[in-house]
Structure 1
Amino acid sequence: MNKLTNQRFLGVLLAGLALILATIYISLTNGTFDIGIRDVVRTLLRIHPLPEHDLVIFEFRLPRIIIGLLVGAGLGVAGAVIQSITRNGLADPGILGINSGAGAAMVIFLFFYQGKIRSDGWLSILAMPIFGLLGGLLAAVLIYMFSWKNGRLEPQRLLLTGIAIASGLSAVSLYLTLKMNPGDFEMAAVWNMGSIYSANWKYIVAMLPWLALLIPIVVRKAYTLDLFQLDEDSVISVGVASEKEKALLLLSSIGIVSACVAVSGGIGFVGLMAPHIARRLVGQAHRRMLPVCGIVGALLVMLADYIGKTVFTPSELPVGVVIAIIGVPYFIFLLYRAKGRSSA
């Protein structure tokens, strides 16, 4: 049985990677300016590259593809962690308030920086994930304060408090956005909807160290995440320092989400859908589920970005809006299915 499960996991992994490569191919070759695969390969391998191909591939398409892949993978993994900690399949970084905390910090950063992010170069770009982390941590501290009961973190109170904190922080973001000048307002509004249209190599460098550090920490705690599916007393009885592990995992997921939000804005539903799809494909074990969550999340964001920039040409729909169009019906389906199970 275990051999069959591992074979299924390997098959899903290879299929997911193949789909990612296919999405990269489609995104590189198609758009307002179509480029043949031969020209793409020649440009990437630096074989008599043309300036116009260099501009389209290295300045516009490739950074956008990589940002979509990293953001999707990060949100997918963080969503799996949060659902495990809260023992609630309807939880995700957006519902829990982490997105809103990081987003509010980024709006404050944009408000006081007066739109100088692009002109000031590396310093402001590298500071963005740090501001996002501080905002996410602030939201987490507030959620922890109101969710702590009888020496334990109550999962249901955590979700309800997260929704309340998210609403309050979203109101702060909206207020500051309305106080911005027209140019900054447009940038903040598009960013708040979740967009990677302004992706560049500096954004990749800014977020990559956070994901490279925190995702391996989460993966190493896969067995602990499995134990969190048991009730609290059972987790403690097997020798796990439950609250300490929860704090470490929650802090790691906050760092991952904050780095993603800092470069892409508030993209919702990825952290909700990716874990559910991964469970259906490879089961509940987190050592198999977490990599698949990353692949599914990356595919969701990359495909949504491609749809948003091509289907609605000449206009461009932010990736967060495209995912929301898919995510809202999926969320309603999950609620309906959970209601059916509870009534049965």
Structure 2
Amino acid sequence: MRKSSGCRTAAVLACGVLIVFVAVYFSLTNGTFDISVINIVKTILRIDPQPDYDLVVFDFRLPRIVLGAGIGFALGIAGCVLQGITRNGLADPGILGINAGAGMTVVLFMFLFQGTVQLTGWLGVMTMPLFGLAGGVAATVIIFLFAKQGGKLDPQRLILVGIAMSSGFGAVTLYVSLKMNPQDFEMAAVWLSGSLHGANWKFVAALLPWLLVVPLLIWWRSHVLDLFQMNEDSVKGLGVAVEREKKLLLLLGIGLVSASVSVSGAIGFVGLIAPHLARQLVGLQHKHVLPVSGVIGMAIVVISDFIGKTLFAPAELAVGIVVSILGVPYFVYLLIRSRK
């Protein structure tokens, strides 16, 4: 494992940001309506603006790209937090059932308030993350309760319980969605696949407060995540309030997951892949791993969304499906490696 260093982390972050910008360039310029980079720049800088370009860039492509980048950043950091707390490299918001729990409560919100709240309006968009947070917290409490053995968290039981609970939450979500009226069911079906198709600036605004506050709080407690890699008794011996710190970091991680799920649906495996790649690139210290994991998550989602909307054109494949196609083989590889 490589040793962490500020210079190495800065170089990796610079490369990661460059990859994201390249993916953004292709996403902005390519599609059913191709636009040259010069026209993109003119449109963004408001130089001789054209209505057609304004519609494509500001109403369709740019909010989708910004939302995808924000979701990837959030899921990358959340996965890093979960793996740090559980000391389990296979931990991921999707695999542990947190995505499914948050998704279930968001679908319940859609079902209960259909016809009374404009789900794509400001009230609906800003309220859904709170419902997602409640579902994510409830799912985590249940999963951790069943995953404990002898008063301690068993990493293997955690994965098994998470997969089982994820199936249960998914069944409830499907049942509730089938009870919706046709219009809301169509919206829920697209959303459940982990799609950025309906991205708009309201969704970006709903996610933005979580991205501005929560990652900074997690990074501020990054040294605690480093300590969690030791034996729990040793950490307590250092004077760390283990349970309090775990609950705080877990709540922050679930907050990021829930906010992401509420605006895009469940996008799995980003929180699994990004932290692993980050640790291979910059080492084990979480003050280095967290930002790198976030940038890698951004790159995964933006690139996957570009693949989903161009490779199968004129049809479109949801970003959640594309990431799963990439993530399942990686998960199997990690599972096999962990058994050696």
TM-score of the superposed pair, with normalisation by structure 1: 0.94
Are 2:27 and 2:61, in contact at CA under 8 Å, matched by a contact in 1?
yes
Distance 2:14 2:250 in 1: 29
Partner SS for 2:313 = coil
8 A contact 2:110–2:119 mirrored in 1 = no
Residue aligning to 2:320? 320
Greater fraction helix: 1
Q: Select between 278-287 and 180-189 the one with higher mean Cα deviation.
A: 180-189
User: Which residue is equivalent to 1:240?
Assistant: 240
Cα shift at 1:129:
0.7
Q: Give CA-to-partner distance per residue, 1:223-275, whole Å, 9 cap, x none.
A: 11111111111111111111111000000001000000000100000000000
What CA deviation, in whole Å up to 9, does each residue of 1:81-129 have, x standing for no partner?
0011111101100111110111001111122233776576211111111
Give 1:170's aligned residue: 170
Does the 8 A contact of 2:4 with 2:282 survive in 1? Answer: no
Does structure 1 conserve the Cα–Cα contact (< 8 Å) formed by 2:119 and 2:125? no
Matched with 1:266 is 266
For 2:256, the aligned partner's letter is I
Percent pairwise identity? 55
1:217 partner letter: L
Query: What is the distance in 1 between the residues matched to 2:148 and 2:106?
Result: 27
Answer whether contact 1:136 1:254 (CA < 8 A) is retained. yes
Which residue pairs with 1:45 in the alignment? 45
Partners of 1:335 and 1:147 in 2: CA distance: 18
Q: 1:258 to 1:119 in 2, by over 3 A?
A: closer
The separation in 2 between residues aligned to 1:128 and 1:321, in whole angstroms, is 22
Q: Does 1:28 align with 2:12?
A: no
Match of 1:125 in 2: 125
Q: In 2, Cα distance between the equivalents of 1:162 and 1:147?
A: 8
The aligned counterpart of 1:98 is 98
Name structure 1 gaps, 5 residues minimum: none
Q: Describe how 1:1-344 pairs up with structure 2 within 5 A.
A: 5-114=5-114, 121-148=121-148, 152-340=152-340
Q: Relative to structure 1, is the Cα distance of residues 29 and 166 closer, same or farther in structure 2, using a 3 angstrom cutoff?
A: same
Structure 2, unmatched stretches of 5+, are: none
**Distance between the aligned counterparts of 1:155 and 1:143, measured in 2?**
12
Equivalents in 2 of 1:251, 1:159: separation in Å? 19
Counterpart amino acid of residue 165 in structure 2: I
CA distance in 1, matches of 2:330, 2:4: 29
SS at match of 2:317: coil
Q: 1:310 Cα deviation (Å)?
A: 0.5
1:139-196: per-residue Cα shift (whole Å, max 9, x none)?
Answer: 1222243345555544444433323322211110011122223332222122111111
SS of equivalent to 2:254: helix
Is residue 86–residue 156 contact of structure 1 (8 Å, CA) maintained in 2? no
Alignment check: 8 A CA contact 1:75 1:297 kept:
yes
Q: Report 1 or 2 for greater relative contact order, CA contacts < 8 Å, sequence distance ≥ 6.
A: 2
More divergent stretch after superposition (309-318 vs 154-163):
154-163
CA distance in 2, matches of 1:269, 1:27: 22
**Separation in 1 of the partners of 2:322 and 2:74?**
18
Cα distance in 1, alignment partners of residues 7 and 133 from structure 2: 38
RMSD after superposition: 1.8
Tell me, in whole angstroms, the C-alpha distance in 2 between the residues paired with 1:60 and 1:295.
23
Letter aligned with residue 244 of structure 1: R
In 1, the alpha carbon distance for the partners of 2:81 and 2:243 equals: 14
> Aligned partners of 1:252, 1:142: CA distance in 2, in Å?
17
In structure 1, how many angstroms separate the alpha carbons of the residues matched to 2:150 and 2:276? 31
How many residues are paired up?
Answer: 339
